[in-house]
Amino acid sequence: MTAFLEAANISKAFDGVQALDKVSVSIDAGEIHCLVGENGSGKSTLIKIIGGVLKPNTGQLRINGEIFSPARAIDSIRQGIQTIYQDLSLFPNLSVAENISLNQLIERGNRFVSKKNVIRTAEKALKEIGEELDLSEKVENLSMSKRQIVAISRALTQNARLIIMDEPTSAITKAEVDHLFSVIMRLQQKGIATLFVSHKLGEIFEIAENVTIIRDGSKVGDYPAGELDSDRLTYLMTGLKIESTVYERDQQKVAADKLLDIRNLSRSGHYENVNFSVRRGDILGVTGLIGSGRTELALSLFGLNKPDSGEIILDGKPVSINSADEAMKLGIGYLPEDRLLQGLYVEKPIGSNIVVTIVEKLLNRFRLISNKKWKNVESRWIDNLKIKTPSAAMPASSLSGGNQQRVVLAKWLATNLKLFILDGPTIGIDIASKNNIHEIIREFAREGVGIVMISDEIPEVRQQCNRILVMREGRIVAEIEDVPNTSESYIFEQCSQKES
């Protein structure tokens, strides 16, 4: 049987850097195929070539056995190839119906738009995958999961035969992931193939039939998903054997006194009556579904979401934290969930991003920045954290996701932290970079820093944290001390139970 899509011996170089080297992949009609590899392995380049955004230097694409050479994205779309990127490319100020129907209207060159036709088109697309949404609702008011349904429905209006999903689960809950997978299975029943790109290994085994692995721009191989497990897939992706160990607080090295004590902290509409403590050397996990109040709580501890009532006690003294500057002066650091918008100045040099938290310490006796001190700090942390860059003068936007996260960590490592709050520290990061970042976080804790790690990845908090708090609907509903002997399924049940 002829495959729907064949990419044969695809090569692509940028300014002398070989992004892809003779990579081939074949996808049958209705197949659920996963593409995996570390950040910078070439995955994004390959899907952009298939989607008509980039042209390969060598190699060819074939659709149903016929050579296909897209000059632009619309050429791939007309062949039934739709790419749904992480940002979904929706219009937030338009309605659900308008977002679903707009591309079809543009493609047909309609000069006049009938509201009745817009609604009819949207209803038909949603019905195809058994979904219901309020067609009049603006997309900006939808959850990320529902926005994905809009993006998938939009693809169906243009006769999609292959839908490429780039990291579709990076910002949705486990229950929403399960729902997305049920939609993918419905697409399969209609003969529509899915190329699924993800760093989350558990999801790959759950949804994939076949897996293509890319490493450093070259194809490692194609494998039936049933022939792989996490250890083998990790090794094939990285070339490394990565050991998984559970974090244990060093009772001998780090004093057991409380660094942080939170008493009855509340903010209306965000969280209520929150109580917990953090000792030096703790890695305290905070997990819960999106909207459980975990990020709002973190922002309050960093002075960006002032609580209505309750106490924050740091080093035995009550503190009032009214701004990020005040939090930093108290020795509190915050790594935000969205590193690009909140954690980095992406167009500024890497070195500037590293020293931004300690500029005062780089001044000489004339109150001018010492170039020598600056260079020493940036080179020290680039070396220590193994940030892959040809120069500290390169913009942060030039780095992979894992290296960008290392830069954010470096700017805090350069300060004297007491408490470090990390919100989704490994979102969108490959397995090797994730392992490296986990080790950096553990090193913080071993040196006596108190860590609060927020994550909806239950395997992550279970492995990286010595204590876990579960938040649900703005409250702490469970505190887990015996982490190694607590199952992931129990923690998930605590996250997802409804209040009676």
pLDDT single digits (tens) 278-324: 999 999 999 988 788 999 999 999 999 999 999 999 999 999 999 99
- CA–CA distance from 116 to each of 51, 101, 103, 120, 450 (Å)? 31, 11, 16, 6, 58
Last residue of a domain, one of 238, 267, 299: 238
Total domains, the chain: 2
- Are residue 425 and residue 330 in the same domain, yes or no? yes
Q: Which candidate, 185, 215, 247, places its Cα nearest to that of 439?
A: 247
Task: Check pLDDT > 90 for residue 477.
Answer: yes
pLDDT single digits (tens) 102-155: 877 666 666 666 788 899 999 999 999 999 999 999 999 988 889 999 999 999
Q: What token pair was written down for 248?
A: 């244990």
- Are residue 187 and residue 262 in the same domain, yes or no? no
pLDDT single digits (tens) 424-455: 888 777 787 788 889 889 988 998 999 999 99
Q: Which amino acid does the sequence have at 480?
A: I
Using CA atoms of 480, 481, 487, 493 in order, give the dihedral in degrees to the nearest 10: -10
Q: Which candidate, 379, 473, 460, 477, places its Cα nearest to that of 422?
A: 460
- CA–CA distance from 133 to each of 119, 143, 498 (Å)? 12, 11, 23
Q: Let me know: does 234 contact 434? Beta carbons within 8 Å.
A: no
Beta strands in 403-461 (DSSP E): 419-423, 450-454
- Are residue 187 and residue 321 in the same domain, yes or no? no
- Are residue 323 and residue 230 in the same domain, yes or no? no
Last residue of a domain, one of 186, 203, 238: 238
Examine residue 117 and state whether it is found in any structural domain, yes or no.
yes
Examine residue 443 and state whether it is found in any structural domain, yes or no.
yes
Q: Whole-angstrom Cα distance, residue 342 to residue 328?
A: 15
Provide the residue range defining the domain that includes 363.
Answer: 258-496
Q: What token pair was written down for 281?
A: 């050397």
pTM: 0.75
Q: Whole-angstrom Cα distance, residue 257 to residue 255?
A: 6
pLDDT single digits (tens) 333-383: 998 876 666 678 888 889 898 888 877 777 777 777 778 888 888 888 888
- Are residue 178 and residue 314 in the same domain, yes or no? no
Lowest-confidence pick of 24-33, 38-47, 164-173, 481-490: 164-173
- pLDDT on residue 109: 60
Examine residue 251 and state whether it is found in any structural domain, yes or no.
no
Q: Which residues contact 317 (CB under 8 A, 6 or more apart)?
A: none
- Are residue 385 and residue 293 in the same domain, yes or no? yes
- Are residue 264 and residue 234 in the same domain, yes or no? no
Examine residue 35 and state whether it is found in any structural domain, yes or no.
yes
- Are residue 127 and residue 192 in the same domain, yes or no? yes
- Are residue 193 and residue 305 in the same domain, yes or no? no
Say what percent of the chain tops pLDDT 70.
95
Q: Which amino acid does the sequence have at 28?
A: D
Q: Whole-angstrom Cα distance, residue 87 to residue 166?
A: 9
Examine residue 182 and state whether it is found in any structural domain, yes or no.
yes
- Helix (H) or strand (E) holding 74, with range, is helix 73-78
